[in-house]
Amino acid sequence: MTSCKQTSKIKSALPSSNIELAILGMVIFIILGLNQLAMANTSPNLFITTTDIENMRSAIKEQGTFKQAFVINKALVDQQILEAIVVPMPEDGGGGYTHERHKKNYKLMVNAAIIYQLTQDERYADYVRDMLVEYAALYPTLPLHPKRKMGKQNPGKLFWQSLNEAVWLVYTSQAYDLILSSLSKAEKEKIELGLFRPIVKFLSVDSPETFNKVHNHGTWTTAAVGMTGYVLGEPEWVEQALYGLDKSGEGGFLRQLDELFSPQGYYNEGPYYQRYALMPFVTFAKVIQNNQPERNIFEYRNGIVLKAIDTTIQLSYNKLFFPINDAIKDKGIDTIELVNGVAIAYGLTGEAGLLDIAKQQDQILLTGDGLKVAQALDKKLEQPYHFDSVAFGDGNDGKQGALVIMRQNVDGEQALLFKPAAQGLGHGHFDKLTWQFYDKGEEIVSDYGAARFLNVEAKYGGRYLPENKTWAKQTIAHNTVVVDEKSHFNGKVKIGNKKHPELLFFEKNDHITISSARIDSAYKGVSLTRTMAFIDLPELDPSLVIDVFDIKSDSKHQYDLPVHYKGHLISTNFELGTQLTNLSVLGKDNGYQHLWLKAQAHPKTNLSQITWLNKNGRFYTQSSIVDDDSSIIFTQIGSNDPLFNLRNENAFIYRNPQSKNHTFVSVLEPHGEYNPSKEYTINAVSKVQKLIHKKENNIDVVEITFIDDRQYLLAFISSENNQANQENKFSFNGSKYQFNGRFMFLEINK
Amino acid sequence: MTSCKQTSKIKSALPSSNIELAILGMVIFIILGLNQLAMANTSPNLFITTTDIENMRSAIKEQGTFKQAFVINKALVDQQILEAIVVPMPEDGGGGYTHERHKKNYKLMVNAAIIYQLTQDERYADYVRDMLVEYAALYPTLPLHPKRKMGKQNPGKLFWQSLNEAVWLVYTSQAYDLILSSLSKAEKEKIELGLFRPIVKFLSVDSPETFNKVHNHGTWTTAAVGMTGYVLGEPEWVEQALYGLDKSGEGGFLRQLDELFSPQGYYNEGPYYQRYALMPFVTFAKVIQNNQPERNIFEYRNGIVLKAIDTTIQLSYNKLFFPINDAIKDKGIDTIELVNGVAIAYGLTGEAGLLDIAKQQDQILLTGDGLKVAQALDKKLEQPYHFDSVAFGDGNDGKQGALVIMRQNVDGEQALLFKPAAQGLGHGHFDKLTWQFYDKGEEIVSDYGAARFLNVEAKYGGRYLPENKTWAKQTIAHNTVVVDEKSHFNGKVKIGNKKHPELLFFEKNDHITISSARIDSAYKGVSLTRTMAFIDLPELDPSLVIDVFDIKSDSKHQYDLPVHYKGHLISTNFELGTQLTNLSVLGKDNGYQHLWLKAQAHPKTNLSQITWLNKNGRFYTQSSIVDDDSSIIFTQIGSNDPLFNLRNENAFIYRNPQSKNHTFVSVLEPHGEYNPSKEYTINAVSKVQKLIHKKENNIDVVEITFIDDRQYLLAFISSENNQANQENKFSFNGSKYQFNGRFMFLEINK
């Protein structure tokens, strides 16, 4: 147990790296000799300020969205505080009873504490106090959690991992701040000595590795400790939270802001974890802003916190996050982390586009920023949020590859994700240069996401399933090239983390977005270059995706390029060669062991066409250049899956059995409509008739001919050192062409 | 070509079977010697009356839903009539260009004619006139359609089947009625002589078989001819339409009303075809009502037309029709046939519940009834439509089995369909006593429906796929017992049509709906009796389905009972015995050739439990009594499917390999919630612990024990001749019980 120092809750006077401190000429309070306990008369001022509370108290006297949210929340709290307080001895792991109960408790404490502030009814504060007292009695007696997994996660005491303990404290410190004014000195002493000081000690000085770690677990921990420091008036804890235990700046919250996001605010584990990581960043930043505005935390690193919030929104389609890496597909923009983020960002910036997102989130927070959002929505101030086509540079310098998002500009109904991004740590997949395609609200070319049934005990305890590693992370589970049936980096995360693709270019104009990237390190001696162009010409209704995947090697290999399609196969322009009465497994390992071989086709023409129908009622045809050696394999996930853990999804795989160099060229074409309700079907057949690819002087040329004889030419350069204003020349079919920069697209037979 | 008789458009004075004719003292007009052409000065009075038009003209002067619909429709018509009129020489079959063009034309004519009446702008009338004149020039030159399929469907001239021709005329006669007042005598003569008289002749006297057929094709034809008779002032055609070509009453519209619906208004092909059949019934009935109200057509057979409309609504769940027999699952209550039906029914009855349906349909018709609906919706007069638990007796007498719908009463979120219905003619499936279960908007225990991609040329020309017969119609494709891997009636429709199950009872109280039925003719020497109880006690959250399937035979057979479940398998309380690296086919024919054998389990305890997770986020566990011989087979659809025509859906099959008598007893239990977005999972595990079944003195007793030791007893009698007030006694576990009527359900260890 820590001893109590003679300090009060103060504005920090300790050294800060923020130059603005001096500029702003801040007033420094150093008041020694006062009560060492948190000062009730400054409460609340952690996440919600006294001014916020005054505004909220006024708002609930009038009709409106905010009052509705208050009424609902109060009713929920009223119901819950009727029940006896339960603070159980920690026993269960994630999803188990005691785990869930302690999670429920922190949420309940915050909610009840807010209702206390809004109603000024002591019953709510007393309830929180009583629960905190129980925790204060329990906590000092706790050993490490019985379900801890040493070596895997850092253990907690209330929870099996210290991560949950830090989350618990981020919330509970807020609840405490909100009821401080209702507590006697003795009560405060009991709670702080029994609970807050020991838990802070446990999370900081007793766990230096986690605390100093530049990782989202570290962010939760530093936020928890820093926030508690503000409430208990321990500026030392705040300093440690910001600069690491030794205050050197090598660890701590600011270092995390420097390292964990790219300059554009992209978090390199991907949006699923970005969303999760966001919570402690925005919460602690807001707390710092409330307590030490002179730190200008929201301006830190050119406004990285706000950029991270905005990027999280950009990384969604139809309200759901793009499922890259270990992502559960149900997560979307209505997640509480982003509700909080959007409210805070709106509170700071007043951007009307954020209200569009807030409206879709349909959750009003009982906070100062939540009030601002609610009042703005009541006034219908929202404007359409603008989803953009962006290449999000990866890594802390933004130069370790990129995550590329292309949007159709007319109505944004289509999105293409192209992923020359870095590995993304332990949750990363071996999916360099993969892509995904979305249309009319649905997945069209899809990614499996994570193999996990979150918190479903019967499915491997609710944790990541074994098949997450054996299938979901493997290269064949993605829409990118697999060489010799092995995964990128031979499936080694450590190697993957050290390497990354290079973004060669990303360009866009009114109708075309195009990007090219390369990686030479995924396979030894094999260079992979992919160029994806999203063409959205008005006359090409609805649009086209052109994909040129160029492989170079000095030795012969088998190259597989899978397309994980979503929908029902409608037709192919070749014999399928379907297995009718017996299915066997496609391969032995690296994910191949999970694929049933349903059909293997050997197209006789050099243009293969595969059409499927998505549940959105639209048809999709992929037309592809195939050479004589190639075959197309149709697969279904499901073999070597003894417990039916995997979803039985379908794919086709273009296979080139042995080549040194090979280029996969294809065009994806959404078309037509199937409407069995209104009983019509239109344009169920592809309009692409011919596809030619050639390469001349580093210039790739793709010619597309439609059944009405219209012809289009795409030319691009994917070499590293092309200059924007360089004049590129090539001849094709007897005609000569030239263009500046990276690409050219034109109709040639007009 | 017919000769023109000297009759005018008159109210019929010909004999009618309706006794009301005399009672009402109707005024009879017999006006001979007038112009033989349709009288312009009574136009319109077919489907839309002059009074309707006056009201509609007023309505479009004011803001409201109706005006919105008018503006949108007018804009659509304005756009279409800019294009040249195209009346192509018939060439293509269903889905082809000329087929679709002629369909588009009749809709366009009706819409333009309505806009003409509402705007009184002659341009619209002229457009319709010009198109009719083109048809009048073309029609007399037409041979039978080149794509006709003799022996399969009756051929048309404009269309490959005469059915489409009749549909065309039902619409076009309305368009003609609406523009009559704008036409000169010469124009009328040209159109009637060239088009209407020859097409009526072709559909009636030249096609007596279809015309007189008591079948929905006959209904379209009689409606078309009768409607044209009203417009052209040919009462003879009306009489033939109502009573058959020979006016004997053996054919015709009234006979169709007598025969094609059960007394409750159930159409024995099931809701998918009921919806389709509804259109000519309600349209022609409305026309008769407008022209000869003295026929009281809506009171005919105790209001059978209105009952048919209401029953069609009742046969839906979450806006979609229950997919029994050859049904495409996307069809629902927003289908134009039911929009029309609901508007007419509301116009007649003013029932506020119908407005609830109209609101969900979200389509306002530019008709007199459409106006009434629009005005009522503007006034927010809608009341919740009441979905009820009903046994719809099948067959014209309502005694040929039944289609049983059970609903959860609290909020209607659950529905159970139990199908001891008759075969349902050529579109019927061999699915006697099957069931389906729905919850939270989704299919839980499902029916494949039809194997068809409507109008998708690449999928077998858009017709029913070959797999509709080889899979979808077969017994194993349904949730009912298959004996010796053969389908009911050995898959013979003709035999099926002659036999039907017997509904033993259907009873309901506040918390329980229970029904029992038997069929002895599906398999020779095998009696099948199934009893399904839907238990919705407040303390049994959310509910239970108890299923007792009793099979009796003097010889030994293999009995298979499939459950086609929708969702992801979560857990089983037995080893699955999964095939890991090789899949083989379950059987040789009768649908078994389409099933991959994924796993075969031999549960070691006598209670098997299988849990799956539906996309609605709820878990479902089926607990079942299994004996030592039994196995449980897990299958996936997809073998012997060379063109990937079938959806790869999952099932498990309880198999009893050889028994004379056997009873399958199971309980389906919805439970818990999986919420990966909010990151919680609750009650993922079944609460059923034990299941006992015994039979004593014709009384079946099922005891269910839950993990908290609560015990419930269901007792019922499925013998044919039980009396409602009979006192039934049995003993169970040493206690004695007695009950009156068919069943008893109680908690026994209170």
At residue A447, φ and ψ (nearest 5 deg) are -120, 140
CATH number at residue B626: 2.70.98.70
Do B249 and B275 share a domain, yes or no? no
Describe the strand order of the beta sheet including A711-717 as a list of residue ranges: A688-696, A699-706, A711-717, A743-747
Burial pattern A558-590, b for ≥16 Cβ within 10 A else e, equals ebbbbbbbbbbbbbbebebebbeeebebbbeeb
Per-residue CA distances from B81 to B127, B158, B191 (Å)? 7, 21, 20
Say whether A273 is catalytic: yes
pLDDT at A724: 65
Structural domain includes residue B396: yes
Chain A residues near residue B334 by CB distance under 8 angstroms:
677
The answer to whether position B720 is within a domain reads yes
Give the closest residue to B174 by CA, choosing from B122, B232, B247, B99. Answer: B232
A412 and A352 in one domain?
no
Q: Is residue B215 part of a domain?
A: no
Is there a domain that residue B209 lies in?
no
The reply to whether A677 touches chain B by the CB within 8 Å rule is: yes
Using CB atoms, which residue from B454, B584, B643 is nearest to A681? B454
Given an 8 Å threshold on Cβ–Cβ distance, is B576 in contact with A330? no
Q: Could you write out the DSSP letters of every residue in A79-140? A: HHHTSPP--PPP---TTSHHHHHHHHHHHHHHHHHHHHHHH--HHHHHHHHHHHHHHHHHGG
Q: Which domain holds residue B144?
A: 45-203
Helical H segments across A13-96, by residue range:
20-24, 50-59, 65-81
- Beta strands across the sheet bearing A631-637: A482-483, A557-563, A650-659, A631-637, A595-601, A582-585, B582-585, B595-601, B631-637, B650-659, B557-563, B482-483
pLDDT digits (tens, 9 = 90+) for A117-132: 999 999 999 999 999 9
> Which residues of chain B make contact with A677, given a CB cutoff of 8 A?
330-332, 334-335
Contact B134, B86 (CB under 8 A): no
- pLDDT tops 80 at residue B671: yes
Among B34-38, B147-151, B262-266, where is mean pLDDT lowest?
A: B34-38
- Per-residue model confidence as pLDDT tens digits over A164-182: 999 999 999 999 999 999 9
Q: Are residues A455 and A481 in the same domain?
A: yes
A640 touches chain B (CB under 8 A): yes
β A631-637/A595-601 pair status: antiparallel
Q: Which tokens go with B446?
A: 């499902």
Looking up tokens 């360099």, which residue turns up?
A432
Bond into B642 cis (ω within 30)? no
A·B CB contacts under 8 A:
144
Question: CB-CB: which of B578, B650, B679 is closest to A454?
Answer: B679
Distance CA A665, CA A695 (A): 12
Of A634, A612, A637, A633, nearest to A622 by C-alpha is: A612
Q: Residue A140 domain-assigned?
A: yes
Same structural domain, A718 and A626: yes
Mean pLDDT of chain A: 92
**Does residue A35 register a pLDDT over 90?**
no
Return the pLDDT at A591.
Answer: 98
User: Which among B585, B640, B644 has the least Cβ separation from residue A569?
Assistant: B644
Instruction: For residues A289 and A49, give the distance between their C-alpha atoms in angstroms, rounded to a whole number.
Output: 11
Angle of helix B300-314 relative to helix B336-349, nearest 10 degrees? 130
Summarised one tens digit per residue, pLDDT across range B368-399 is 999 999 999 999 999 999 999 999 999 999 99
Amino acid letter, B681? T
In a domain, A208, yes or no: no
Question: B 329-388 residues with CB below 8 A of A?
Answer: 330-332, 334-336
pLDDT in tens, B506-533: 999 988 999 999 999 999 999 999 999 9
Q: Is B177 helix (H, G, I), strand (E, B) or coil?
A: helix
Rounded to whole angstroms, what are the CA distances from B89 to A682, B296, B457, B691?
Answer: 21, 41, 21, 68
Residues A377 and A405 in one domain: no
d(CA A229, CA A208): 17
Q: Which helix (DSSP H) or strand (DSSP E) does residue B597 occupy?
A: strand B595-601
CA-to-CA dists, residue B75 to A6, B81, B82, B105, angstroms: 79, 10, 11, 17
Looking at residue A154, its pLDDT comes to 87
Predicted confidence at residue A13, as pLDDT, reads 35
Stretch among A232-236, A680-684, A730-734, B9-13 having the lowest mean pLDDT? B9-13
Contact at CB, B613 and A456, closer than 8 angstroms: yes
A476 pLDDT above the threshold of 50:
yes
Of A459, A640, A679, the CB nearest to B570: A459
Dihedral (Cα; A372, A374, A376, A377), 10-degree rounding:
160
Question: What is the count of structural domains for chain A?
Answer: 4
Which of A156, A173, A203 is at the close of a domain?
A203
Q: Are A363 and A301 in contact (CB under 8 A)?
A: no
Candidates A455, A457, A460, partner chain B, best to mutate (most B CBs within 10 A): A455
Both tokens of residue A293?
């505005």
Mean local confidence (pLDDT), A69-97 = 93
Query: How much is the pLDDT for A33?
Result: 31
Residues A198 and A238 in one domain: no
Does any domain span residue A297? yes
Distance from CA of A641 to the nearest CA of B (A): 6
Give the helix/strand (H/E) hosting B46.
none
Predicted pLDDT of residue B171: 98
Residue that terminates a domain, selected from A387, A405, A434: A387
Judge if A118 and A96 occupy the same domain. Answer: yes
pLDDT digits 0-9 by tens, B559-585? 999 999 999 999 999 999 999 999 999
Q: What CATH number is attached to the domain comprising A149? A: 1.50.10.100
Q: Which of residues 448-467 of A touch B (CB under 8 A)?
A: 453-459, 462
Q: What is the chain B residue with the closest CA to A686?
A: B458
Same domain membership, residue A446 and residue A378 = no
Interface of A with B in 593-612 (CB under 8 A): 596, 598-599, 611
Q: How far is B639 from chain A (nearest CA, A)?
A: 5
Q: What is the pLDDT of residues A656-677, one digit of tens each?
A: 999 999 999 999 999 999 998 8
Q: Are residues A418 and A380 part of one domain?
A: no
Of A734-743, B94-103, B144-153, B313-322, least confident by mean pLDDT is B144-153
Same domain membership, residue B99 and residue B131: yes
The residue-averaged pLDDT of B222-241 equals: 97
Q: Which residues of B touch A321 (CB under 8 A)?
A: none
Candidates A82, A50, A93; CA nearest to A460 is: A93
**B620/chain A closest Cα distance in angstroms:** 13
Tell me what the mean pLDDT of segment B691-705 comes to. Answer: 94
- Within a domain: A699: yes
Q: Are residues B179 and B297 in the same domain?
A: no
Distance from CA of A584 to the nearest CA of B (A): 5
Query: What pLDDT sits at residue A11?
Result: 38
Which distant-in-sequence residues (6+ apart) come within 8 Å of A201 by Cβ? A1, A2
Q: Which residue of A has its CA nearest to B681?
A: A455
> Which of A326, A636, A644, A652 is the mutation pick for testing B, counting most B CBs within 10 A?
A644
- Name the H helices within B295-421: 300-314, 336-349, 352-361, 368-378
Cα distance from B601 to chain A (closest Cα, Å)? Answer: 12
Contacts of A362 in chain B (CB under 8 A): none
pLDDT of B720 above 90: no
Please say which residue of B387, B414, B443 terminates a domain: B387
Rg (CA), chain A: 29
From the list A427, A564, A594, A662, the catalytic residue is A427
- How many residues does this entry show for chain B? 750
Residue A319 predicted with pLDDT over 50: yes
| Residues B228 and B90 both lie in one domain | no
For A230-244, B15-29, B457-471, which range has the lowest pLDDT when averaged over its residues? Answer: B15-29
Mean pLDDT value across chain B: 92
Which of B330, B599, B680 comes nearest A676 by C-beta?
A: B330
Confirm whether A139 is a catalytic residue: no
Percent helix, percent strand, percent coil in chain B, to nearest 5: 35, 25, 40
Structure tokens at B307: 């009952």
Single out the catalytic residue among B427, B429, B478, B564. Answer: B427
d(CA A110, CA B504): 58
